[in-house]
Homo-oligomer: A and B are copies of this chain.
């Protein structure tokens, strides 16, 4: 029986991932977790990188695998980690993204405003803990940084956590952007613990620099790629329009689950009070959104159907992107051109002309620092320890401004 549950899962990245025990096996097979099989890690990124179809399910499994390796390394270095702590840390990383909805970013900007995936994750972990009779209590403590061995939390959530190590590796792998590849093996081998905090041994410093640069590269080359921004902008506008129409009482085709959230404006308090809402949210996945958007191609609202057709047939908006804000006059001119071309009022035209910005910091000094354990036993922030690469520069936030509008609009 027990033996049956010691499964291995194939992973093109790590070869095999071993499921270490029955509780974790049961969690992976729980419908909350199985749902993550139907939620892509990178939303619409596959419109640019066609291989980027990997799911949050696979990512969570992979992050758990790295956690196994990290804990093994630390134990080999003599760090005390009990069997309970080990299981709890594995569960914490496994469930860290359990609350993600489909196309999270887009959804949170349109359909379930004000409900973040972190909130949902907490609610779902509590539900699971109840269902599994308290066996997740320590995992939740670690997740919320309430356990005294802070390094366990830092392995789950910090600037050098197993989440990041896995997603950078996985996203590089499936997009084919080989420059984002990081050496998770080497970084993990360099981990250690000082005063209950995670540190990196001095000889690992070049690997950390490389990791920070790789992460920055992935931001601009993949996560904030201008065509990806364009596709996501389109989806946000589609969902906003659908919500607007639904609110006005118009009946739109949608899967029943999706319809529930289209037609209602649930707040955090509703999720707390009404367990069914949480349960419905925990059934929503990419297919609800995609199948509905696809069908709206034939909707009689011209704005909605046009936006949907653009997304489905991949006729994406042009994106202009630059380091400084765009001139107001320029934006006005474009907006007016959109209004004239499509004969729309300003409010309607806003569905076809978006001005927004994105930003990224490669490293946030001072917050969840990455500490380097120097050869003399002292600790130094990686931003100070690097001999040349002025990592302080990397901690500046870079902001880029962009405009999106149909390709046929030309000034």
How many interface residues does chain A have, given as a range? 35 or more
Given the known A-B contacts A53-B54, A55-B50, A176-B11, are A256 and B255 also in contact in the complex, defined by CB atoms under 8 Å?
no
Please give 18 more A-B residue pairs, beta carbons under 8 A apart, in addition to A37-B46, A206-B220, A207-B217: A6-B76, A10-B50, A10-B51, A10-B175, A10-B176, A12-B173, A15-B176, A29-B314, A178-B181, A179-B182, A210-B217, A255-B294, A255-B295, A256-B295, A290-B291, A291-B292, A388-B396, A388-B398
Judge whether A51 and B12 touch: CB under 8 Å: yes
> Is A82 part of the contact surface with B, judged by Cβ < 8 Å?
no
Judge whether A10 and B177 touch: CB under 8 Å: yes
> Is A164 part of the contact surface with B, judged by Cβ < 8 Å?
no
Copies in the complex: 4
Alpha-carbon distance A362/B386, docked complex (angstroms): 14
Alpha-carbon distance A182/B398, docked complex (angstroms): 24
Q: Of all chain B residues, which has the CB nearest A178?
A: B183
Q: Could you list 17 A-B pairs, sorted by A, with CB under 8 Å?
A: A10-B49, A10-B50, A15-B176, A15-B186, A31-B313, A50-B55, A50-B61, A179-B206, A206-B220, A213-B213, A253-B255, A257-B295, A285-B294, A287-B290, A291-B291, A388-B396, A389-B393
Alpha-carbon distance A80/B29, docked complex (angstroms): 31
Scoring A residues 181 to 211 as 1 if CB is less than 8 Å from chain B, else 0, what string do you get? 1110110010000000000000000110110
Given the known A-B contacts A53-B54, A179-B186, A217-B209, are A394 and B398 also in contact in the complex, defined by CB atoms under 8 Å?
no
Chain B residues near A288: list those with CB within 8 A: 291, 294
- List residues 151-188 of chain A with CB under 8 A from any CB of chain B: 173-179, 181-183, 185-186
> Is A119 part of the contact surface with B, judged by Cβ < 8 Å?
no
> Is A143 part of the contact surface with B, judged by Cβ < 8 Å?
no
Chain B residues near A183: list those with CB within 8 A: 178-179
Judge whether B34 and A313 touch: CB under 8 Å: yes
Judge whether A175 and B12 touch: CB under 8 Å: yes
Alpha-carbon distance A353/B47, docked complex (angstroms): 40
> Is A345 part of the contact surface with B, judged by Cβ < 8 Å?
no
> Is A247 part of the contact surface with B, judged by Cβ < 8 Å?
no
